[in-house]
Amino acid sequence: MRALNAWLISNSCGALEVGETWRSELLTAIGFDLSSLSPHSALLQSQVTEELWLATHERWVERASCGGAERSGVTPRKERTQGMAVHPVCVNSAGLDGRDCGGTKCMSSNMRDAEPWENDIPSPFYAASTHVGASEATACGFVALPAAIRNPLSGSSYANANMVLYGRVVNSQARPVPRATVEIWHADQYGRFGEIATPLAEAHRAAGSLPKSERSETGCRAALTTDDHGRFSVRTVLPGRYGPPQHVELRVTAEGITPLVTKIYVGDDPFFETTLRENIASLRVEQRVVFPTVVDATNRTVNVTVVVRPSNADGRQFRGAWSDGRGFVDVASNGVHFLAVEVPTPRRWGSIGGEHDDAFTIRNASATPIVSSGLTARCGVASIDSCPGIDTYVL
């Protein structure tokens, strides 16, 4: 998969200009293989600094002005656009799924636990899990250090504490999603992802306040499986803020659901009271902003319900090697994204990818043509007669 550097550009005004390709590549990576995206891509790197995180989340932050009577006349917890999801990421005028971000969208407390979560842009610190455990896991162990840590980038202080994240994965009908895989990764208290340093870790190192890491190889990471009630729990620590607000990243996958990559933000991060102070009233009812419960001086708990969308097909119907009488076709499907590749070598049409509109109809289909002797060969399976530029393909 191509690196995305060419598709995300910071111009002199600080706004972001993007091409269309990065959007489909990112969503395909979320569905199939997040590690296929280059960690050096400009898109992923945009999630490292405060300036670019604010640029990619500008609409999400400003949508909180719904709660500012001086600007919108709408009080917090009241919908201005009933039943519409709030895009966490809007680059220019569109969200990651390509839908128009539209005008101001507010969310009420009664919608909070029913609206499916939207994808967020992942950080470049994701690493594929080599082991997926049961419904309980440890991402980072606590080291007894000062009760508060001063952030050398912002000058503010934040708690240094254990955190137990209690989660539940449900669908939009509030039914649990059992046996879902939940991958979690986040920076430690000092901004480290294992041996990968963020701007916060570098600032601590320069200030002489960076202690030795006890998880130098892996960082704060865990992969687990929800139980029969969709529940999971992770023991870890409160993350440091290296650019975006303090957050924990999640990737949730399972048969029958649309894969989700998102962030859970720690609502009592001083960043919300300073930079985002004008919008904090509405941000407090946002699904992905959570406020830890203080157990004691060194322990916090967080409860979150992750709402996922159903997929349009059952990927198990398609995955595997199929014969077309001339060779094999490798098919990958997660019920949302579909990819078929002729193996061991391209013969007629090469590869076809797209999204399930339903179980047997692929929309936004595109094909990689076969080039032979300077001419593009006929590209087709069944009713496909040309490529690329296919719109809809019926399996």
The whole-angstrom separation of Cα 383 and Cα 389 is 14
Whether the predicted pLDDT of 87 surpasses 80: no
State the Cα torsion 33-253-299-160 to the nearest 10°.
20
Whether the predicted pLDDT of 91 surpasses 50: yes
Q: Is 2.60.120.620 the CATH classification of the domain at 5-308?
A: no
> What pLDDT is stored for residue 186 in this prediction?
94
Percent share of the chain, pLDDT over 90:
19
Interval 27-38: pLDDT, tens: 778 888 888 888
Q: Are 6 and 19 in contact (CB under 8 A)?
A: yes
Residue by residue, DSSP assigns 16-72 as: EEE-SHHHHHHHHHHHS-GGGS-TTSHHHHTTTSHHHHHHHTHHHHHGGGGG-TTTT
Task: Give the β-pairing of 375-376 and 351-358.
Answer: unpaired
196, 204, 213: which is closest to 152 by C-alpha? 204
Instruction: Give 147 or 264, the one with higher predicted confidence.
Output: 264
Whether the predicted pLDDT of 10 surpasses 80: no
Domain locations along the chain: 5-308, 315-394
Is the pTM higher than 0.75? The answer reads yes
Interval 308-348: pLDDT, tens: 988 888 877 788 888 877 788 888 888 888 888 888 887 77
Interval 125-158: pLDDT, tens: 998 887 888 988 888 877 666 778 888 888 888 8
Whether the predicted pLDDT of 242 surpasses 90: yes
The whole-angstrom separation of Cα 308 and Cα 311 is 9
Q: What is the mean pLDDT of residues 110-134?
A: 80
46, 28, 22: which is closest to 353 by C-alpha? 28
> What pLDDT is stored for residue 182 in this prediction?
96
The whole-angstrom separation of Cα 9 and Cα 16 is 6
**Length of the chain, in residues:** 395
Confidence label for 107 from pLDDT (cuts 50, 70 and 90): low
Report the phi/psi class of residue 323: left, alpha or beta, with left for phi > 0 and alpha for psi in -120 to 50.
beta
Task: Give the β-pairing of 289-290 and 260-266.
Answer: parallel
Q: What is the mean pLDDT of residues 156-168?
A: 90
The whole-angstrom separation of Cα 323 and Cα 210 is 57
> What pLDDT is stored for residue 306 in this prediction?
94
- The tally of CA atoms less than 13 A away on the side-chain side of residue 253 is 19
Interval 31-75: pLDDT, tens: 888 888 888 888 788 899 998 888 888 777 765 445 443 333 334
